[in-house]
């Protein structure tokens, strides 16, 4: 994995209601930070809820959600979807752009730190250069596995804490 990838985008400004090509700007796509992970998790959860409510879209997304198993809890579901999303970013992005364009744009914006309005105005090649850069600098499958591992450790710690609390609050005979 590369630490960062630079992509040249076009900056647009709104002058009296008219969008104008203002300048070129080099954006640096870096590995995901915790705030970005939390933000994409929130977007994915909302997206899943919306897609589950629409049977037509739900059927169209079978390929994207191959890793989803019935009865998965939300954490595992989001982890599986995040991993699958990155594993097949081009196909996933294409499908998401088709069925949920605003959510796809929001995910790309969060991971690139480029405002969604600026992303929307880019040429398609530039837009997909940003998508490719995100995939290049992030090993989301690794991030998801780390989140699972840390969550399990934290859960064990909480259970141990509960036992200590119970033991210290139990009456002594």
Cβ neighbours of residue 104 closer than 8 Å, sequence gap 6 or more: 93, 96, 97
Residue at 2 is within a domain: no
Question: Over its length of 173 residues, how does the chain's per-residue pLDDT go in tens digits?
Answer: 778 999 999 999 888 888 888 899 999 999 999 999 889 989 988 888 877 776 655 555 555 555 555 565 656 666 666 655 555 544 556 666 677 888 889 999 999 999 999 999 999 999 999 999 998 998 877 877 887 788 777 777 777 666 666 666 656 55
Residue at 173 is within a domain: no
Handedness of CA 153, 156, 162, 167 (dihedral sign): negative
Tally of domains in the chain: 1
Domain that holds residue 60: 32-163
Residue at 91 is within a domain: yes
Global confidence as pTM: 0.66
Residue at 26 is within a domain: no
């Amino acid at each position: 994995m590369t630490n960062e990838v630079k992509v040249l985008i076009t900056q647009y400004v709104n002058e009296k209601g008219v969008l104008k090509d203002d300048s070129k700007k080099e954006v640096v796509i870096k590995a995901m930070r915790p705030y970005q992970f939390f933000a994409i998790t929130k977007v994915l959860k909302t997206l899943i809820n919306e897609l589950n409510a629409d049977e037509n879209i739900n059927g169209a997304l079978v390929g994207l959600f191959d890793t989803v198993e019935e009865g998965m809890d939300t954490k595992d579901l989001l982890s599986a979807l995040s991993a699958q999303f990155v594993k097949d970013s081009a196909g996933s992005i294409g499908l998401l752009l088709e069925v949920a364009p605003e959510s796809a744009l929001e995910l790309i914006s969060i991971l690139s730190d480029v405002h969604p309005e600026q992303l929307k105005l880019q040429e398609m090649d530039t837009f997909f250069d940003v998508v490719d850069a995100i995939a290049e600098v992030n090993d989301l499958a690794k991030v998801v596995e780390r989140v699972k591992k840390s969550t399990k450790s934290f859960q064990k710690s909480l259970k141990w804490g509960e036992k200590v609390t119970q033991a210290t609050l139990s009456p002594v005979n």
